[in-house]
Amino acid sequence: MRAISLVNRLEFQFMGNVARNAVTLGDIDNDGCNELIIGNNKGEVAIFKGKEKIKKITDLTFVSCVAVGDIFNKQKNSLVIVTADGWCYIYEVPDDGISLSEEVDGQVQSGEVLEYSTESNRSQGDKDEKPQLVCVHIQRIPANAKNIVLGDIDNDGMIEMILGLTDRVVRSYRWVNEPHKPSETTTAHNPENLQYFGKLIALNKWECANQIGSITLHHTSDGKPSLLIAQPGGTFMRIRCQPDDSGQAQENLELSGSSSDTMPGSAIDYQFLGISRMRNQNISTEILGDFQSGHLESQSEDAKKCPYAVATLDGTIMLVQDEVILWAIAVDHQIFALCKLDVTGNGMDDIVVCSWDGQTYILDQEKNCVRFHLDEPVQAFHCGHYSLTINDEPVTCLVYITFKNTVIVYYDIPLKELKCKKYEPRLDLLRELYMKDGTTPEEAQDVVENLDRKKKSQLIHRLLYNVKKS
């Protein structure tokens, strides 16, 4: 297996322990640039943009999950923070809200580098304005959440929030505005008072047979969504949700109520992959769906089927499509994180997994693999696209949170392809090296095609080092 070295990196300091799903990449201020969001066990959430920390949220409790998405279903991203003791906080950047202060009421703190003591510094600060982050909704939810997914699980065009709990329960929520009230309100010239009237309504509750590893959203070739919930031993539970009438959910909204009794049922089935029979049935499992297989416009109907990946703690990595294992590979490290990223830029998602000791494997959908080793133990890992500057396109990145209170971001991964090719020299160019002293092209071609091992070694030393090896 080919090993690679990565050079471009950023380092940030962030104290505390970070949960597996308390780190994400997303555009929280809707400016087209992705930020890095990390939460810890001390109730702090740090937001990094470019090469600096621009925001810090404090006074929360143990942050177990963070996510970025259009949870209000109004074509605008928000930051969702879920704590282990059962609180959901939703933060948003107002359309015209700009903050240049270093601290905002003890809740949201801007970056440490933002200091404006003179008029010249203030004018320079106007050019580098940092968006204000406002808490627009707080709600009590069941405690012990460990997984979060924002997506349309019932194909109704609305974004739902799916939570996986440590007590083997999966719950789904959707934001519903309160009747007879505006969807949002704000005080004139004061975007800090932005407030949304409504709540997250519980839609469904499912109970799994075993502990939940991870939750992912997966679509079939005809676009129908389903939830895949990883179960121990390389198995998973699949839930197909039926679309409900959002208008009916609006009517069922009550100030004291939490869920509706008129939600339709769901189709649930367990999938036991064949290879799971040879594995420890109690080993923890990660699953990730919706792997893109290239440009959909030029694909056949069979090629449009999206595979999904399964990884287990004992080092098994599988690519599965329609419950058929396409391939499987075993590594000698304990895998705890499974992500996807188009590393090579060919339109196909690659599998990225990380182990506790910092060993990272990048695999394409043809089983070609490279590895990268971080020389520190890792407590959390994520990958995606990160924006270094506002004007440039986001670049690929690998994010490591170590046990030494350090966040390491390797960016702009220089991989064009993962397949390891054999050295094949161009014969037409080599032939020109032997076309001298009256040698005909045919004779030179014959010499090039019949080089023995000794002559190939001499040729390599001459081309690479300009040394004639005897």
Determine the Cα–Cα distance for residues 453 and 357; give it in Å rounded to an integer. Answer: 41
**pLDDT the model gives residue 254:** 45
Q: Which of residues 431 and 246 earns the better pLDDT score? A: 431
Q: Give 219's pLDDT tier (boundaries 50, 70, 90).
A: very high
**pLDDT the model gives residue 392:** 85
Residue written as token pair 């080793």? 373
**pLDDT the model gives residue 192:** 61
pLDDT at 128 over 60: no
Determine the Cα–Cα distance for residues 60 and 66; give it in Å rounded to an integer. Answer: 13
Average pLDDT for 435-444: 75
Q: Indicate the domain borders of the chain.
A: 17-95+131-180+193-207, 209-244+264-295+303-373+414-421, 427-465
User: Domain 17-95+131-180+193-207, what fold?
Assistant: Methylamine Dehydrogenase; Chain H (2.130.10)
| 341-to-346, 384, 470 alpha-carbon distances in Å | 11, 6, 48
pLDDT at 431 over 80: no
Of the candidates 398, 426, 433, 425, the residue with the CA atom closest to the CA atom of residue 412: 398
Residues 141 and 231: beta-carbon distance below 8 Å: no
Determine the Cα–Cα distance for residues 378 and 23; give it in Å rounded to an integer. Answer: 13
Residues 288 and 340: beta-carbon distance below 8 Å: yes
**pLDDT the model gives residue 466:** 73
Q: Give 279's pLDDT tier (boundaries 50, 70, 90).
A: low
Of 20-34, 92-106, 350-364, 370-384, the least confident: 92-106
> What's the CATH number of domain 209-244+264-295+303-373+414-421, 3.10.20.30, 2.130.10.10, 3.40.630.30, 3.40.50.720?
2.130.10.10
Average pLDDT, the chain: 83
- Which amino acid type is present at position 281? Q
Q: What angle do CA 146, 379, 147 make, to 5 degrees?
A: 15
Q: Would strands 2-3 and 369-373 be described as parallel, antiparallel, or unpaired? A: parallel
pLDDT at 175 over 80: yes
**pLDDT the model gives residue 130:** 55
Hey, do 17-95+131-180+193-207 and 209-244+264-295+303-373+414-421 end up sharing a CATH topology, with the first three levels equal?
Answer: yes
Chain-centroid distance of CA 167 in Å reads: 24
**pLDDT the model gives residue 42:** 96
pLDDT at 89 over 80: yes
Of the candidates 307, 284, 411, the residue with the CA atom closest to the CA atom of residue 363: 307
Determine the Cα–Cα distance for residues 56 and 109; give it in Å rounded to an integer. Answer: 5
Percent of the chain with pLDDT over 90: 60
Structure tokens at 36: 């890095």
Give the contacts of 128 (CB within 8 A, at least 6 positions apart). Answer: none
pLDDT at 127 over 50: no
pLDDT at 259 over 50: no
Q: Which of residues 106 and 257 earns the better pLDDT score? A: 257
Percent of the chain with pLDDT over 70: 79
